[in-house]
């Protein structure tokens, strides 16, 4: 007897039908698979994110590793090859860093009057605000989403719901009845939430945040989520495993943070949340904005001492809310003047219904990630009192001034400015306005493909090809200033240039980058791990960017010309002193000791592709953390 089984994968495999013998499905783990990738022993099916796939589909989904062969029947894979495929997938998942994550938190104080921003069911269901907040910061993570809520009158005092997918998919927002059931089940007067791109670890549910740790004692039962990356992750991991009596189930710094918090809560101690973060901060090197909630209903929101990652908050006397970006708070209904950025090294605690802001670590300097204003953040956000939109328009004005000073490209009726959507639009519009020439949407973006910058290497070019469609009606015969916010690996730019020439029939393409060259990796949560994977370092040898070097880069890309902004333009555009920005990927000067150590290892690894692990993993070669 045969049955038809419909299988699909949440991240994009088309529904497929396969005929298999109808048997009872009992899954068995295969050594080396990702935590939630399970194998059906009789049917040779693999479950990915809860959906059964044939082996050939699984290989297509994860990118078939070298040396893995499929037999004549595409649905059958030798068990040894399956182990090899799954093991390679797990390693690949860890090695491919992605960009940012985003965090949110809400808390309606129990004894306070009902806030006008409270959802209709009342303060006990203020957690209904979490999905809409996460939607506003969806730009920061589309791999998974999750929430943890607190309700003092249910058995699960804190309860966590998380899944692979976008916010709409995870919370079933397109299906009102399903969404309402979820919100009823996880109703609470307080909650935290997270959207994720992988800063390390695999792409499965077990890596989704928040991370919840159950315990019999309420002060030791907690959940947390964070945005950032610990540069000394491997050292902390080594120390935890050094006595041989500990085991870590995941390759992620999130688990390390969970165990570090648990250590502070061990024994008979009952430290307040502020004491916990004060102690663990002494062992952390890197970037972290964090939200924490325990089974006593205590909340903590903290930002690392350098303020590398953004974190905003607002409070109307009854409702407290926090988010990675201000736009999430503005759209809840908080007045713009009441939305503030949390100072680096400070934490907000809610204990016994009282809100307090205090310092947990010294902040000798600030090192805000400049990339937030240039690329990552929602253009409607204001971070550390600096508008993202105005910063990007200032970058466009900087490009225009350089163009006027150079004067080699005619500014006539056949010259237009075309942004690479969407993050380059503000800079392109500003550049065109300053030059007195039109800005045109010559590239139309398919908004459902995700960011190619954060995709695996094998899929980046293909995704870039489907991500943008050139409009021949706009581009044909034109001299184009193609404005891009940054060039990291150059994958997207090469595809765009090819397609604009072949499909758009442009006469000339002059690439203008609203950012200096990216010459060094990031170890604080951005998808740039090794020098060799970056485009610019092969040309900018000693840190000096000349006209001749930019001409050589243009030829390599296939552009008629190329111009970057100088490093000094970034601080001017953001309107912050350069000393208060992290510009390590532009200068090679890192704001933390482990970041600088990792960079030296990255320099030593140049030219050793395939033989050297990701730089982030190399810090295990250094002395363990103390």
Which residues have a Cβ under 8 Å from the Cβ of 188 and sit 6 or more positions away?
124, 125, 126, 127, 149, 150, 151, 159
Ramachandran assignment for 206, one of left (phi > 0), alpha (psi -120 to 50 degrees), beta (any other): alpha
Of residues 9 and 175, more confidence is placed in 175
| Mean pLDDT in residue range 175-200 | 91
| Mean pLDDT in residue range 523-530 | 86
| Mean pLDDT in residue range 241-264 | 88
Q: Which tens digit of pLDDT belongs to each residue from 609-622?
A: 664 556 766 655 55
| Mean pLDDT in residue range 469-492 | 96
594 is catalytic: no
In this prediction the pTM is: 0.82
CA pair distance 486, 427, nearest whole angstrom: 11
Q: Which of 200-204, 546-550, 615-619 has the lowest mean pLDDT?
A: 200-204
CA pair distance 286, 591, nearest whole angstrom: 9
Residue 450 predicted with pLDDT over 60? no
Greatest Cα pair distance in the chain: 77
The percent of residues above 70 in pLDDT, for the chain, comes to 78
Spatial CA neighbour of 555 closest among 577, 538, 569, 570: 538
319-323 and 101-108: which strand pairing? Answer: antiparallel
CA 361 vs CA 32, 131, 225, 498, 519: distances in Å? 40, 31, 19, 50, 31
Q: Which tens digit of pLDDT belongs to each residue from 307-341?
A: 999 999 999 999 999 999 999 999 999 999 999 99
Spatial CA neighbour of 580 closest among 383, 427, 394: 383
Domains and CATH numbers, the chain: 2-95 (no CATH), 101-364 (3.60.20.10), 386-621 (3.40.50.2020)
> What does the pLDDT read at residue 91?
30
CA pair distance 20, 207, nearest whole angstrom: 32
| Mean pLDDT in residue range 455-482 | 82
> What does the pLDDT read at residue 27?
32
CA pair distance 513, 414, nearest whole angstrom: 21
Which residues have a Cβ under 8 Å from the Cβ of 576 and sit 6 or more positions away?
368, 384, 386
The percent of residues above 90 in pLDDT, for the chain, comes to 70
CA pair distance 185, 179, nearest whole angstrom: 10
Q: How confident is the model at residue 292 (pLDDT cuts 50, 70, 90)?
A: very high
Residue 15 predicted with pLDDT over 50? no
Q: What is the DSSP string of 127-171?
A: GGHHHHHHHHTGGG--SEEEEEEE-TTSSSSEEEEEEES-HHHHT
Alpha helices in 171-220 (DSSP H): 176-185
> What does the pLDDT read at residue 475?
98
> Can you state the angle between helices 253-265 and 273-281, rounded to 10 degrees?
120
> What does the pLDDT read at residue 197?
81
CA 70 vs CA 29, 67, 318: distances in Å? 20, 10, 60
Q: Which tens digit of pLDDT belongs to each residue from 334-384?
A: 999 999 999 999 999 999 999 999 999 999 999 999 999 999 999 999 999
| Mean pLDDT in residue range 472-500 | 96
Taking a C-beta distance cutoff of 8 angstroms, is the pair 137, 326 a contact?
Answer: no
> What does the pLDDT read at residue 267?
92
Q: How confident is the model at residue 514 (pLDDT cuts 50, 70, 90)?
A: very high
> What does the pLDDT read at residue 488?
93
Catalytic residue among 55, 101, 200, 522: 101
CA pair distance 438, 415, nearest whole angstrom: 8
Taking a C-beta distance cutoff of 8 angstroms, is the pair 224, 258 a contact?
Answer: yes
User: Mean pLDDT score of the chain, rounded to an integer?
Assistant: 83
CA pair distance 217, 117, nearest whole angstrom: 33
Reduced to 3 states, what is the DSSP secondary structure of residue 24? coil
- Asked if the bond preceding 210 is cis, omega within 30° of 0, the reply is yes
Strand order in the sheet with 38-40: 38-40, 45-48, 51-54
Q: Which of 22-36, 135-149, 396-410, 432-446 has the lowest mean pLDDT?
A: 22-36
- Asked if the bond preceding 455 is cis, omega within 30° of 0, the reply is no
> What does the pLDDT read at residue 205?
85
Q: How confident is the model at residue 181 (pLDDT cuts 50, 70, 90)?
A: very high
533, exposed or middle or buried, with CB in 10 Å at 0-12, 13-18, 19+? middle
> What does the pLDDT read at residue 618?
61
Q: Which tens digit of pLDDT belongs to each residue from 73-84?
A: 433 334 334 333
Q: How confident is the model at residue 17 (pLDDT cuts 50, 70, 90)?
A: very low
> What does the pLDDT read at residue 35?
37
């Amino acid at each position: 007897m045969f049955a038809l089984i419909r299988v699909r994968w949440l991240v994009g495999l088309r529904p497929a039908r396969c005929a298999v013998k109808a048997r009872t499905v009992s899954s068995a783990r295969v050594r080396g698979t990702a935590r939630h990738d399970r194998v059906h022993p009789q049917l040779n099916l693999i479950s990915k994110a809860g959906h059964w796939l044939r082996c050939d589909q699984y290989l297509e989904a994860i990118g078939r590793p070298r040396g893995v062969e499929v037999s004549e029947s595409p649905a059958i894979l030798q068990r040894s090859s399956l182990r090899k495929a799954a093991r390679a997938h797990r390693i690949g998942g860890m090695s491919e860093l992605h960009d940012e994550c985003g965090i949110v938190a809400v808390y309606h104080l129990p004894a306070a009057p009902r806030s006008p921003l409270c959802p209709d069911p009342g303060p006990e269901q203020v957690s209904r605000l979490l999905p809409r907040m996460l939607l506003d910061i969806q730009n920061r993570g589309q791999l998974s989403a999750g929430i943890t809520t607190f309700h003092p009158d249910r058995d699960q005092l804190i309860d966590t719901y998380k899944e692979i997918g976008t916010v709409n998919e995870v919370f079933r927002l397109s299906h009102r009845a399903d969404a309402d059931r979820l919100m009823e089940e996880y109703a609470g007067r307080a909650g935290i939430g997270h959207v994720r791109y992988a800063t390390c670890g695999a792409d499965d549910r077990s890596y989704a945040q928040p991370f919840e740790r159950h315990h019999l004692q309420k002060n030791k039962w907690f959940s947390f989520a964070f945005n950032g990356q610990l540069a000394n992750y491997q050292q902390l991991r080594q120390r935890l495993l050094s006595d041989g009596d500990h085991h870590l189930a995941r390759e992620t710094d999130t688990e390390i943070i969970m165990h570090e918090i648990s250590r502070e809560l061990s024994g008979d101690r009952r430290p307040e949340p502020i004491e916990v973060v004060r102690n663990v901060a002494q062992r952390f090197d890197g970037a972290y904005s964090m939200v924490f909630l325990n089974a006593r209903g205590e909340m903590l929101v903290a930002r690392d001492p350098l303020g590398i990652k953004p974190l905003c908050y607002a409070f109307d006397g009854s409702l407290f809310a926090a988010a990675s970006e201000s736009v999430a708070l503005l759209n809840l209904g908080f007045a713009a003047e009441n939305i503030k950025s949390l100072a680096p090294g400070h934490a907000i605690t809610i204990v016994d219904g009282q809100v307090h802001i205090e310092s947990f670590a010294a902040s000798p300097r600030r090192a805000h990630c400049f990339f937030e204003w240039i690329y990552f953040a929602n253009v409607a956000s204001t971070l550390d009192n600096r508008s993202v939109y105005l910063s990007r328009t200032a970058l466009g004005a900087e490009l225009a001034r350089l163009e006027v000073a150079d004067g080699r490209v005619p500014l006539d009726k056949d010259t237009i400015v075309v942004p690479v959507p969407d993050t380059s639009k503000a800079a392109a519009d500003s550049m065109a306005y300053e030059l007195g020439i039109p800005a045109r949407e010559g590239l139309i973006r398919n908004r459902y493909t995700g960011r190619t910058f954060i995709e695996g290497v094998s899929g980046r070019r293909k995704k870039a090809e489907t991500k943008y469609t050139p409009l021949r009606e706009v581009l044909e015969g034109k001299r184009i200033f193609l404005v891009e916010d940054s060039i990291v690996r150059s994958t997207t730019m090469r595809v765009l240039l090819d397609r604009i020439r072949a499909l758009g029939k442009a006469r000339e393409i002059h690439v203008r980058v609203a950012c200096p060259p990216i010459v060094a990796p990031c170890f604080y949560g951005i998808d740039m791990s090794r020098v060799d994977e970056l485009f610019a370092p092969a040309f900018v040898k000693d840190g000096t960017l000349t006209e001749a070097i930019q001409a050589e880069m243009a030829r390599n890309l296939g552009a008629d010309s190329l111009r970057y902004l100088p490093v000094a333009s970034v601080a001017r555009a953001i309107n912050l002193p350069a000393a208060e920005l992290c510009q390590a990927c532009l200068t090679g000067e890192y704001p933390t000791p482990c970041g600088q150590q990792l960079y030296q290892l990255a320099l030593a690894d140049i030219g050793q592709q395939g033989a050297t692990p990701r730089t982030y993993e190399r810090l295990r070669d250094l002395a363990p953390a103390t």
